[in-house]
Structure 1
Amino acid sequence: MTLRKWFHLFWTTMLVGALLGIAAGLVLKLTDQNYTILGLSAVGLNLLYMALIGATISIVSQMGYFSFMIVRYFGMGMIRNARTWDLLQWALIVITLFELVFLRAINSEGDWLPFVPLPIILLMVSLAVAYWKMNLTNAKGFLPTLFFMVVVTSLEAIPALRENNPFGTFFMVLPLLGCNAWQILILPKVLGNNKSEP
């Protein structure tokens, strides 16, 4: 990874985050006419803030991605058995999806059904991205990508999840999913090693 390649990854991810921030904001504005960001009603200022917030979320996504790569590197060094490492990843994926429903329901002291759509959507998007990654690289790319898209995205979204606000959750999770998918799919191309070890 050269500095030039890293800059390319950084700025393109930030652009993806800004565009998805605008898209998320526009969807929220269309579904709720009273929705504003920072109390601003001017369309231009709202679009600017949506783009800035989306770009900021992309930086959170990038920190999560590089943290994931470091933790994965050390984890694979400590747990040398590939099967054990894979089982650990599967277990963390299942625990994360479970907690996205039941821990949030317990904390809100309400029904758990309203919390079901987020993990289902997260899992569906993650499976699609993992399948795509597997086609870009090889079969070994599926599980790490699925783990990253489910577990790391959930960790990155904790500030929005704590608020229990569906609008805020949507506004943060959409750019996070897009930026995470972009990074993990584009990295082999940036490094020039498609169809290789992820």
Structure 2
Amino acid sequence: MTLRKWFYLFWTTLVVGAVAALIIGFILQASDQKLGMLTGKEIGFNVLTMLLGGAMISALSQMGFFAYLIVRFITMGMIRSKWVTNVIQIICVVIAFIDLIYLRNVDTEEGWISYTVLPVILLIVAFLTAWWKVKLTNSNGFIPTLFFMTAVTAIEAVPALRINSGASTLFMMVPLLACNAWQILILSKVLKTNKEPL
């Protein structure tokens, strides 16, 4: 990884996060009846706030991504068996899935079914991203991508999940998922390890 490649990854992820935050921000704003009559100045302020929020979320996503890469590198050095590391990652995915349902539901009186929506969507996005990663590289990328998109994203989303607000969770999760998917998919292209065309 050269400095030039890292710069490319950094700035493109920043743009992905800002654009994703802007899109979900406008959707949330359009669905809020109280914000129906905004002036041009207020709309401009909201756009700027959304862009900065998306950039901040993308920075969080990048820290999580590089932390994941470092931990993966160390783990692969300590545990030589790929099978064992894959099993550990699958266990972590299951724990993250259960954690997102159960621990968020402990202090509330609502039913646990309403808390399954986010983990299920997260798992679907993770499976689609992992499938796409396999198409770009090879089958070895499926489980690490699934792990990164579920367990690491769940850890990164803790600030929004603690607020327990649907709008806050959406505003953070959409850019976070977009940035994480972008980074894990583009990494092989940046490092030129994509599958060779037949």
Normalising by structure 2, report the TM-score: 0.93
Gaps of 5+ in 1: none
Whichever residue aligns with residue 93 of structure 1, its letter is V
Gaps of 5+ in 2: none
Are residue 138 (structure 1) and residue 148 (structure 2) matched?
Answer: no
Aligned length: 193
How do 1:6-155 and structure 2 match up within 5 A? 6-34=6-34, 42-155=42-155
Shift of 1:35: 5.3
Tell me if the contact between 1:28 and 1:35 (Cα under 8 Å) persists in the aligned partners: no
Look up the SS of the partner of 1:144 in the other structure. helix
Q: Percent identity?
A: 51
- Quick one: distance in 2 between partners of 1:88 and 1:137? 22
Shift of 1:83: 1.4
Render the CA deviation track for 1:152-191: whole Å, top value 9, x for unaligned. Answer: 0000000000111111000000000000000011111111
- Quick one: distance in 2 between partners of 1:28 and 1:41? 18
RMSD of aligned Cα (Å): 1.6
Render the CA deviation track for 1:109-143: whole Å, top value 9, x for unaligned. Answer: 43211111100100001100000001100000000
- Quick one: distance in 1 between partners of 2:83 and 2:35? 48
- Quick one: distance in 1 between partners of 2:194 and 2:68? 20
- Quick one: distance in 2 between partners of 1:35 and 1:3? 43
